[in-house]
Amino acid sequence: MSRRRLPVRWRLTVVYGSLFFLAAIILVAVNYFVVTRIVSQPVEPGHGMQEPMDRVLVQQVRVEIDAYKDQVIDSIVVWSLLATILVGLGGLAVGWSVARRALGPLQQVTDTARRLSDSTLHNRISMEGPRDEIKELADTFDSMLERLDRAFDGQRRFVANASHELKTPLAIDRALLQVAFADSALPADLWRVRDELLASNGRQADLIEGLLMLAQTERELTVREPVDLAELARSALDRCPGVEADLGAAPATGDAVLLEQVVVNLADNAVKYNDSRGSVFVRTGSGADGSFIVVENTGPKIAPAQVSRLFEPFRRLNDDRTGSASGAGLGLSIVRAVARAHGGTAEAVPREGGGLVVTVRIPSRS
């Protein structure tokens, strides 16, 4: 277990302050030693004094001198300690100021990195000053931003082109299939072929749409507006008959289209993997940690170890790629990507008695 360490600025301040304290203590020790040596030298009384009066007088003088020496030494100790404390506190203040100035350029790098998103990669630090280690770090960071900006720009162009180049041929193929098999004189043996071709075309279109949606949601949001998850759920569930809903107010901020897609994907998955006589429940509301939408169904029992895998792309409940409930395996992946893009979370747990409970939390709007 690693120990928590102080921030760099505090550590530099402690180092500078400690050096001041050490220097002050050394000066005090040297000063104390020198003064003590000086005042501790014996004072010999003059010769020719009469006895015993001279002896009594000498003794009194020595007592006075010793008292004065003690007073001088005590004063030196007190004032030296006070001076050490003042110098040490001054050293801490100077250390704090020096550390702030030394770490200022690094704070500039941190602030720039904190503001970055895929839409602000054009920002640069552009640090000026002598070519030292910190400026070299800033220039290296700027070079990295330049490469990231080009990479993200290329990704945006790719997604835009893929959306057109992949979806258009599938739409044309589907139209050609529908026209070619629209003849009423079509032999019955070809009906099954027609249905299989159209179903395959639909699966390919859904897969491409899901991949493009996943690529879009894994980037920074470009639209942020006040939304209510309850209203989005109400609109989405109109296309999902038979779903029971308890829709409480759930204010949030984000992209209404993407958040509605979350509800559609959750409801679609819940219906698809539900028991034939089971139920699907959708609930929305808000709490201290943000607004939420909960979707649960009464499907088959799911082992807890399988739940986390369901959010991975192309993962299905039993890795079964056949049957009516196979799908593209991207529904929950898109849900999690949208939630993360909004600063929220998506998690699932097995439902007691069978089925799944998926909860998506989105920060409430201020």
Separation CA 173–CA 106 (nearest Å): 56
User: Which pTM does this prediction carry?
Assistant: 0.53
Say which amino acid occupies 103.
Answer: L
Local confidence band at 108 (pLDDT 50, 70, 90 cut-offs): confident
Superfamily of domain 223-362: Histidine kinase-like ATPase, C-terminal domain (3.30.565.10)
**Dihedral, CA of residue 220, residue 222, residue 224 and residue 230, to nearest 10:** -70
| Maximum average pLDDT range among 37-41, 54-58, 285-289, 356-360 | 356-360
Q: How confident is the model at residue 283 (pLDDT cuts 50, 70, 90)?
A: very high
Query: What is the distance between the alpha carbons of residues 341 and 221, in angstroms, rounded to a whole number?
Result: 6
Judge whether residue 328 has pLDDT over 60: no
Domain 134-216 matching CATH 2.60.40: the answer reads no
The Cα-based distances of 365 to 233, 264, 343 in angstroms read 17, 22, 12
